[in-house]
Structure formats: C-alpha cells, structure tokens
C-alpha cells in the first residue's frame, strides 16, 4: 500500500480510528458502515493542503463549489440506506469526489453514480481507480434524471439538497427499496423514502446542510 493511501501523521490509521470512535459516540451503530469507513482513506479524496483535516467532523471543499460531507453525515446516510443489510444495486446522485461512492461500493453489489460536473467526475474516477474499487459505473448526467437504463435500484442516495423528490428517481426505486435525500432550501432535512407495493412512504429526519441539487451539465 502506498504512503499516500495508508497516510502518516494526521492522515494515519490512528487518526482514522479516532474518527470511528467519534462516530460511535455520535450514535452510528452499523458495524459494516463503521468498518468500511475505517478502511477507506478519506484524505485521498480532498486536496493535499486539506488532508490533515480529512478526519475532522466537518465538510470540506473539493472544488467547483462542491463539498465532501462531514463523516457523521456520510455514516448516517449510509446507515439509513443499508439498514443492516447490503443492498444489491445502488444509485448515487452526485458523485462528488467519490468518497461516498467508494463506501457504497464496499457495501453493495454494484453502484451507479451520476455527476453533472465533468471535471469533478474525472477527479472521482482517479480517486476510485487508486483504491482499485471496480464495481462502480459512472455517468456524466443530470441527477434529476437518474439512470433509467440501470433501474430498478435497491437503494438511491442523493448527496445534494432537492426542492422536491424528482419523480424519475422515485420510479427508478425498486419495490422494497429505500431512498435518502436531503430536502429544502433554507432549513434542510434528510428525507427517507421507502417504496411499497401500494406507493411511497416518506419520513422526515435529521437537520442537514447540503449544496443544492442543480439541473443541467457542466
């Protein structure tokens, strides 16, 4: 393993373990999620100048007006999506730097990930390639549209705040599947959506703060 991946000092395994201890104290209980977050080096997904802060409980800029979410939010959303059992096929809306994508890939059979910003998608591809994660399919597309050709998905995670849940995404969710999406423009909250045979059940959860889910390509 390269020094860049294994880390030294503030990016070392010891620092990563402190993050896991903090996540447990914050209420994360899914051992599979905690184990994967312990394994994946978060510092390689941020700029080198910010690497020493990679395991702090805060969001960090990744360029192009986007951020990598704080570790607690990553863990919380992943835990809500997996609920103790690995999903088969996952759709991620908003690849970002690829950190959340890599975590989902370790916990599922296959991940389809959509990013509207091509330079960011290119960066995510490089990050994921360095970790040799092979079960991810990337697509440069508008997140509101999803990936219809890959549907249905057992789980869908949206990593930007929506003003409404795009109908296209709801239709791509399998019966029995779960979607986690930040909602709102001023005050934001996590919304958990479950699809049943009779329709969709929605539950409002934690207050959050995400960049907005935008339309179009760049």
Q: What is the pLDDT of residue 2?
A: 54
Q: Is 70 exceeded by the pLDDT of residue 12? A: yes
Q: What is the pLDDT of residue 185?
A: 86
Which position has the higher pLDDT, 3 or 100? 100
**pLDDT tens-place string over residues 149-207:** 999 999 999 999 999 999 999 999 999 999 999 999 889 999 999 999 999 999 999 99
In a domain, 42, yes or no: yes
**pLDDT tens-place string over residues 19-72:** 999 999 999 999 999 999 999 999 999 998 999 999 999 999 999 889 999 999
In a domain, 217, yes or no: no
Residue 201 CB coordination number (10 Å): 10
In a domain, 218, yes or no: no
Q: Are 180 and 160 in contact (CB under 8 A)?
A: no
Q: What is the pLDDT of residue 7?
A: 58
Domain CATH for 141: 3.40.50.150
State the Cα angle at 158 between 79 and 16, rounded to 5°: 45
In a domain, 40, yes or no: yes
Indicate if 69 belongs to the active site: yes
Which position has the higher pLDDT, 2 or 206? 206
In a domain, 216, yes or no: no
Catalytic residue selected from 12, 69, 113, 122:
69
Q: Are 45 and 62 in contact (CB under 8 A)?
A: yes
In a domain, 7, yes or no: yes
Cα–Cα distance for residue pair 102/94, rounded to 1 Å: 13
In a domain, 63, yes or no: yes
By residue range, what is the domain housing residue 19?
A: 3-208
Cα–Cα distance for residue pair 51/147, rounded to 1 Å: 33
In a domain, 215, yes or no: no
Please state the rounded mean pLDDT for residues 84-90: 87
Closest CA to 108 of 27, 38, 45, 36: 36
- Domain count for the chain, please give it: 1
Reported pTM: 0.94
């Amino acid at each position: 393993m390269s020094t860049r991946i294994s880390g030294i000092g503030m990016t070392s395994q010891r620092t990563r373990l402190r993050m896991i201890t903090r996540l447990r104290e914050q209420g994360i209980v899914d051992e599979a999620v905690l184990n994967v977050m312990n394994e994946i080096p978060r510092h390689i997904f941020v700029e080198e100048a910010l690497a020493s802060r990679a395991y702090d409980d805060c969001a960090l800029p990744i360029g192009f007006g986007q951020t990598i979410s704080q570790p607690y939010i990553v863990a919380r959303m992943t835990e809500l999506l997996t609920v103790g059992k690995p999903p088969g096929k996952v759709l991620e809306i908003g690849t970002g730097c690829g950190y959340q994508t890599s975590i989902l890939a370790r916990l599922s059979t296959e991940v389809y990930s959509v990013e509207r910003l091509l330079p960011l998608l290119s960066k995510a591809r490089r990050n994921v390639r360095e970790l040799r994660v092979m079960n991810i399919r990337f697509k440069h597309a508008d997140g509101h549209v999803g990936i219809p050709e890959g549907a249905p998905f057992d789980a869908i995670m949206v990593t930007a705040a929506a003003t409404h849940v795009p109908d296209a995404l709801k239709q791509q969710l399998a019966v029995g599947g779960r979607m986690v999406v930040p909602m709102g423009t001023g005050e934001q909250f996590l919304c958990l959506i479950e699809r049943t045979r009779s329709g969709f059940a929605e539950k409002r959860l934690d207050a959050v703060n995400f960049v907005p889910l935008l339309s179009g390509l760049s």
